[in-house]
Amino acid sequence: MNTDQSDFTPSDNFQTREQLNEFFRGLRELDHACRANGSKHDRAIALICACIDEGVDTGARIVGALKRLGFNAQHVGKLLHDYTGNDPSRHHWQRDEAGRYSNHC
């Protein structure tokens, strides 16, 4: 597993390296918890929602975070595209004019 976190400098969303490490630790724990009952597809959706909740809310940063956890960047990008929209019954998140995602839940 890649331990380089250069895509996520503390000034981006986190005040300290500890906060950055905690963010990735939390994502790994969520991924592990979802493994028992979820497909990689479902796990990626849960992780995308968690990223957005934590303020990692642009496409490039979401893709980068999940890529670091071993997910295929193209798959994550497709999920972002396919589940973006204004209808919460069909979409998991929406994107504003600035390119920032927010969860419907």
Nearest to 101 by CA among 45, 62, 67: 62
The answer to whether the CB of 44 falls within 8 A of the CB of 76 is: yes
What is the rounded distance in angstroms from the CA atom of residue 93 to the CA atom of residue 104? 5
pLDDT at 67 over 60: yes
Q: What integer best gives the mean pLDDT of the chain? A: 89
Owning domain of residue 51 = 13-103
pLDDT at 75 over 70: yes
Using the structure block, give the residue that is written with the tokens 């193209």.
74
Whether 84 is in a domain gets the answer yes
pLDDT tens digits for range 25-46 = 999 999 999 998 889 999 999 9
Question: Angle 29-101-80 (CA atoms, 0-180°, nearest 5)?
Answer: 70
The answer to whether the CB of 28 falls within 8 A of the CB of 12 is: no
Whether 49 is in a domain gets the answer yes
Whether 50 is in a domain gets the answer yes
What is the rounded distance in angstroms from the CA atom of residue 81 to the CA atom of residue 48? 12
Whether 7 is in a domain gets the answer no
The answer to whether the CB of 77 falls within 8 A of the CB of 67 is: no
Whether 1 is in a domain gets the answer no
**What DSSP designation does 4 have?**
-
Whether 62 is in a domain gets the answer yes
Whether 40 is in a domain gets the answer yes
Whether 77 is in a domain gets the answer yes
Rounded (10°) CA dihedral 58, 55, 97, 62: 20
At residue 13, the pLDDT reads: 77
How many domains would you assign to the chain?
A: 1
Quick one: what percent of the chain has pLDDT higher than 90? 79
At residue 2, the pLDDT reads: 43
